[in-house]
Amino acid sequence: MRQNLHQLLKDKESLSWELDEKNNTLEQNISALKHNTEKEISTIKKSNSELKEKLLVKESEYRALAETINMLKDGNVDANTVYDVGHVKAEVMRLQTENESLQVRKYRWTCLHTSGRVHSFIHSFIHSFIYYELITGKAAG
């Protein structure tokens, strides 16, 4: 009886160690995947933001050019008006870009805040899953 108890304690210690090893490996894998995914998302968002900014500039340039061409066709060219409109449009573009940048920062902050809870849930789920497999000796599901 004493020998059986000793063997059970030894088995329990071995399974506990194995569980810790699997947990550490899974945590490292999840952490690496999370880091790589966040890095890719950041790169994609940066590229997307840059492309949107370039598109806005080109659209503004196009509208300004079309407006100037129409003014030339109509003979209603006022150099001061064209100059003022150009500066107002440039300021609007700068403010729109700044607004988009702030929206991206807000979104990133929200994602980082939420990802901690998701990571905790995944960790708990995986821990329960491994524990079930160790106790029952069979894979869950």
Q: What is the pLDDT of residues 11-29, one digit of tens each?
A: 889 888 988 898 888 889 8
Q: What is the pLDDT of residue 36?
A: 86
Q: What is the pLDDT of residues 31-55, one digit of tens each?
A: 888 888 888 888 888 888 888 888 8
Q: What is the 3-state secondary structure (H, E, C) of 58-81?
A: HHHHHHHHHHHHHHHHHCCCCHHH
Q: Which amino acid is at 107?
A: Y
Q: What is the DSSP string of 90-128?
A: HHHHHHHHHHHHHHHHHHHHHHHHHHHHHHHHHHHHHHH
Q: What is the pLDDT of residue 104?
A: 75
Threshold 0.75, pTM exceeds: no
Domain ranges of the chain: 16-136
Given a contact cutoff of 8 angstroms between Cβ atoms, the answer to whether 53 and 97 are in contact is yes
* DSSP output for 2-14: HHHHHHHHHHHHH
Angle among Cα 125, 129, 130 to the nearest 5 degrees reads 120
Tens-digit pLDDT profile for residues 79-137: 666 666 667 777 777 778 877 877 777 776 666 555 555 556 666 666 666 656 666 66
